[in-house]
Copies of this chain bind each other. A is one copy, B any other.
Amino acid sequence: MAPPSHSASHLTNASAPNNCFTVDTPHCLLDPGEFRRQGHQIIDFMAGYYAHIEDYSVSPKVTPGFLRSRLPAAAPSQPEPDALAAALNDVRDLILPGITHWQSPRHFAHFPASSSAVGALGEALAAGLNVVPFTWTASPAATELEMVVVDWLGKALHLPETFLFAGGGGGTSCEAILCTLVAARDRKLAEVGEGRIGDLVVYCSDQTHFALHKAAHIAGIRKANCRVVPTRREEDSFALSPAALGAAMREDVDAGRVPLFLCATVGTTATAAVDPVAELCAAAAPHGVWVHVDAAYAGAAFICPEFRHLADGVRAADSVSTNPHKWLMANNDCCALWLKRPSALVAALGTDRDDVILRDAAADKDGDGAVDYKDWSVTLTRRFRALKVWLVLRCYGVEALRGAVHEHVRMAALLEEMVRADARFEVAAPRRFALVCFRLRPPEKFCGEKAAANELNRRLLEAVNATRRGPYMSSATVGSQYLLRCAVGSTLTEERHVRDAWKVVQDHGAALLREMHGTTPTPPQSVTI
């Protein structure tokens, strides 16, 4: 619970008691001079955080209730003197020791949530301008910048031109899977009749993110009609088989059900497996199924020439989405969606009601190409996210982002080599992108005992994550096998962090094996890569 020892020095310039500013009317809350003073305070605080982020345990050692029990039960009536400095002291002493430090160079869990100076500051600028661009008129530049940026990003990621505004498609930032599923549902119900919602079937693999199931459930698709096609390690490396998909669809059709939607994944959550999108589209086409490609994590990699073929592969799909906040330095949150036929989205999510706010603010649609983004997403309220993505692309350039992805993949490949070079470990699924999945091999006497092997690796992860100033990784269970996941991709991660992380894994692995053997095993041949 105690904050790192350096905190007293690196973050305390926040507490200089120089605030004699008082709020007596609302407009004081946005006084430019006070904003400037407080703004510099926040920036210095954040810069101090980044400079000392390695001092924090990536995952906090706290128990539920640790923070709630230390904060008052109600908001103060009146602020303290220099309340922002006091609040920042609380951030330093109470909150920072309690967050998971996703920006730590030792954060290898889940997928990255990458950050950059310009990404963070772009969010700050958007928050400060504080526009609500639900329609073109409600903030023209915000809408148009979003149109520009989705095309910029789509081009940088080598998406087929048909997904860009420039090619007759278009994109936005929204809840991609839910929105496209509702668009697909409406298109299909218009064809087969509104009453048949109970017959609609959604397809995915057993590796598809649960977001698909949640979206289907929200959209009124029966749970029994979510068809989960099993994947196999040996044959397909956990990718969805087009043959199995085709068979499932035929079976549904034969039973009188209506195939609706396929969520294919490029870069699954567990192992970053890649579904064969082109072949899946071919299998789905005879049934008029909407194919959405979820490339939440791996879409970022399309920026590199070596992964460009994956972008080509989505050519026959209806829609594709990725999260620039995961691996394109664009700070949480931003989900980018591209579609070939945005009109289907607007038909499902648009409103034709004569609403007060919308009549004033609706775009003049006379062929000018302006869009009202409220009709492209669930919520009316939206933020000016495009500003941050534009700043990131503009200020770093495509080459720097490509370089970052490339460097993370290089470091992951290095880790993979180190795993292969240590006979005590195995690479548990083919490395994809910058995700390495590995496990500790159990001692020979336990071979064939899956549960024991899984338990060994569960203990390994626990030990690794409990290491003081150690790496933080996560796990997956695929094909009943528990494996450790190391996702390289935090902005601050350098090769030394990856090497250090592997050393920690090796040390704990060795200790666990010693314990299992009851004797000290022969030290493995050490290989330096």
Contacts and interface: CB of A to CB of B under 8 A. Distances in A.
A485 B359 CA distance: 13
17 contacts: A27-B105, A46-B124, A49-B129, A65-B144, A68-B147, A73-B155, A75-B152, A84-B121, A98-B141, A99-B131, A120-B127, A121-B124, A124-B124, A332-B381, A332-B383, A356-B476, A378-B378
Contact of A144 (B66, B83, B370): B66
Interface in A328-372: 329, 331-333, 335, 348-349, 351, 353-361, 363-364, 368-370
Interface string A191-210: 00011011000000000011
A379 B175 contact: yes
A502 interface: no
A16 interface: no
Interface string A1-45: 000000000000000000000011111011111111011101111
Interface residues of A, number: 174
A521 interface: no
A30 B492 contact: yes
A31 to B, nearest CB: 7
Given A83-B397, A178-B218, A194-B222, 17 more contacts: A23-B400, A26-B329, A39-B46, A46-B128, A49-B128, A64-B369, A84-B118, A94-B141, A102-B130, A113-B130, A121-B124, A131-B332, A175-B379, A210-B353, A356-B475, A356-B476, A360-B474
Nearest to A218: B182
Q: Which of A35, A86, A117, A332 has the most CB of B within 10 A?
A: A117
A313 interface: no
Q: Which of A59, A353, A356, A476 has the most CB of B within 10 A?
A: A356
Contacts of A138: 100, 110
Q: Which of A26, A33, A175, A178 has the most CB of B within 10 A?
A: A26
A145 B492 contact: no
- This chain: copies in complex: 2
A336 to B, nearest CB: 12
Interface stretch (A252-260, A283-291, A401-409, A438-446): A401-409
B62 A477 contact: no
Contact of A355 (B147, B210, B404): B210
A421 B47 CA distance: 56
A2 to B, nearest CB: 14
Contacts of A348: 217
Interface stretch (A229-237, A388-396, A504-512): A388-396
Interface in A97-121: 97-103, 105, 109-111, 113, 115-121
B27 A156 contact: no
Contacts of A155: 73-75
A282 interface: no
A527 interface: no
A460 to B, nearest CB: 13
A87 interface: yes
A465 B25 CA distance: 26
Contact of A219 (B71, B153, B218): B218
Contacts of A38: 117-118, 121
A137 interface: yes
Contacts of A137: 59, 100
A399 interface: yes
A217 to B, nearest CB: 8
